Each structure stands twice: as C-alpha cells, then as structure tokens.
Amino acid sequence: MRSQTWNQIVHRRARNTLVFAVWTAAKFVWSILQGWSERARQRRTLALLSDHSLRDIGLSRMEVNFESRRPFWRE
C-alpha cells in the first residue's frame, strides 16, 4: 500500500468537511420546507372545519379565517 502525502490527507479531510457542511445545510433546508408544508396543510384543514367543530375546539370562524390566511412561512 502506498503512503499518502500530507497534501492528500489534508485535501481528503477538507473534502469530507465540505460534504458534511453541505449535507447539514441540506437537512436544515429540508426540515424548514417540511415545517412550511405541514403548517400550510394544518391551516387548510382548519379552514375546512364546520362551525360545530370549531365551537368544540373553542375557536370562532373569524379566528380561523385570520389564521388560515396567514402565509405558510409565518408561525
């Protein structure tokens, strides 16, 4: 087996670090997108509830309209 030079070792470590950083950033972006998707789904579902169901959970139609019109990226 051939021994590696110091430059090869440093280059491989830098490449691995870059791959890890990109992977971590991709996972972070994916989790944000999943959160936005889930929030949008919940707001659509809330908007479809009947007045009777809303009374059961203690919400008014006005509160639901306000919440369901909020942008998906806002909590």
pLDDT level of residue 2 (50, 70, 90 thresholds): low
At residue 1, does pLDDT exceed 70?
A: no
Q: What is the pLDDT of residues 9-39, one digit of tens each?
A: 788 888 888 889 999 999 999 999 999 999 9
Predicted TM-score (pTM) of this structure:
0.71
Reported for 69-75, long-range contacts at CB under 8 A and 24+ positions apart, including other chains, are 70/43, 72/36, 72/37, 72/39, 72/40, 72/43, 73/36, 75/39
